């Protein structure tokens, strides 16, 4: 049987591991930061109706410019944006891939601040872009000074800022984004995949777009919109940026069915986002209860919680899995990550954690040292 080693694979891809979290059938799945609430039935029926209409012309190629979708996304984002500012693709990963295809590539570099979204270096590798792993401050924070210093000393062609950061949940200040932009001469992407879960009053990087042609703000419908299976990501930027992305997209890259489903969902944005407050409540409940149990949860502006104080992350992960609860070992020493699900799912997770014997966490001083190393 032929193996991967027998094929003439690109040398820079040899030895790499594909991205992917475990997809296991267990009672409680809280490992990939999905919105675990189901779509309201009236909204689902409207989406089905829109899909049925799209099927009547499925023999024809879809709208290459996905015009209605861009109009609806611009209306949802607000901030004076129009369709000319909007780009969309099959999930925000494809959006970021388009950005790297247009502005990265051989001889160019991408700076990110680790730990961060593990797809960034994979996307960089796939486009021949050199990945630069910058450091964060203590507690996974990222100050304007630290971020700008990394930009100044590495002079990257692109910078990816995850706000709030995945897998740590750390919110990112607008001051840090401004500092990075001012220090950079290249493209700056703010990945706001989890922006809707921020505390009320949290300002988006969208407020920084005017006058900053090199600033891009990416979003997704996979998280707050409970639309992960539809694969719809998008960004807002200067119209010149969307013109650049047209140069690298595949023909008719967004299917007629994807466009129809997303348009119907956006028409019900208020209903689709109605569960966000409950998810925030469950996130805060997780933080409170994990602290009570002796763990060290980090502050989160997202729909998940990274918690430290775990003596053996792999053993704890396996013990919870055996109890019917799937969370995520993200590879940070002494830490695990859990998504905020429904009230019942959160209760099941917390009950399973309480049943862990012996207690999984070291004393706080030991956990603090672990945080410094992560």
Higher pLDDT, 24 or 263: 263
CA distance 323 to 344: 15
CA distance 162 to 115: 10
Domains of the chain: 23-38+275-356 (3.90.1150.10), 41-272 (3.40.640.10)
For the stretch 52-104, pLDDT in tens is: 999 999 999 999 999 999 999 999 999 999 999 999 999 999 999 999 999 99
Would you place residue 364 in the very low, low, confident or very high pLDDT band (cuts 50, 70, 90)?
A: very low
To the nearest 10 degrees (0 to 180), the angle between helices 41-55 and 256-266 is 150
Does the predicted TM-score (pTM) go above 0.75? yes
Are 69 and 95 within 8 A, CB to CB?
A: no
Are 131 and 125 within 8 A, CB to CB?
A: yes
For the stretch 111-158, pLDDT in tens is: 999 999 999 999 999 999 999 999 999 999 999 999 999 999 999 999
Closest of 346, 327, 326, 347 to residue 337, by C-alpha: 327
Which residue in this structure is represented by tokens 């690298």? 248
- Using the predicted structure, report yes or no on whether residue 305 has a pLDDT greater than 90: yes
Closest of 304, 283, 306, 284 to residue 296, by C-alpha: 306
CA distance 320 to 310: 13
């Amino acid at each position: 049987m032929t193996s991967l080693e027998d094929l003439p694979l690109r040398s820079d891809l040899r030895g790499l591991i594909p991205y992917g979290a475990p997809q296991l059938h267990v009672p409680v799945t809280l490992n990939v930061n999905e919105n675990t609430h189901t779509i309201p039935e009236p909204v689902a029926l409207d989406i089905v109706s829109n899909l049925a209409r799209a099927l009547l012309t499925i023999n024809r190629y879809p709208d290459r410019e996905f015009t209605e979708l861009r109009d609806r996304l611009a209306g949802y984002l607000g901030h004076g944006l129009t369709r000319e500012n909007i780009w969309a693709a099959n999930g925000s990963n494809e959006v970021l891939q388009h950005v790297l295809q247009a502005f990265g590539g051989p001889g160019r570099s991408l700076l990110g601040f680790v730990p961060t979204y593990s797809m960034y270096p994979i996307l960089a590798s796939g486009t021949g872009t050199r990945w630069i792993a910058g450091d964060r401050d203590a507690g996974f924070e990222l100050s304007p000074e630290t971020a700008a210093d990394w930009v100044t000393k590495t002079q990257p062609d692109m910078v990816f800022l995850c706000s709030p950061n995945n897998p740590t949940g750390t919110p990112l200040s607008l001051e840090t984004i401004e500092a990075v932009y001012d220090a950079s001469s290249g493209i700056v992407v703010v990945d706001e995949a989890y922006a809707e879960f921020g505390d009320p009053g949290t300002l988006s990087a969208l407020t920084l777009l005017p006058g900053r042609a090199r600033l891009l703000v990416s979003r997704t419908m996979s998280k707050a919109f409970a639309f992960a299976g539809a694969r719809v990501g998008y960004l807002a930027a200067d119209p010149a940026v969307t013109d650049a992305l047209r140069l690298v997209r595949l023909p008719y890259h967004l299917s007629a069915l994807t466009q129809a489903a997303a348009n119907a969902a956006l028409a019900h944005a208020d209903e689709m986002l109605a569960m966000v407050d409950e998810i925030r409540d469950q996130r805060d409940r997780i933080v409170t209860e994990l602290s009570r149990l002796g763990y060290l949860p980090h502050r989160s502006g997202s729909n998940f919680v990274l918690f430290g104080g775990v003596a053996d992350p792999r053993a704890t992960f396996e013990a919870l899995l055996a109890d019917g609860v799937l969370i995520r070992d993200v590879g940070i020493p002494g830490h695990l990550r859990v998504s905020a699900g429904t009230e019942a799912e959160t209760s099941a997770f917390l009950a399973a954690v309480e049943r862990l014997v012996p207690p999984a966490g070291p004393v706080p001083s030991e956990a603090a040292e672990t945080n410094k190393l992560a």
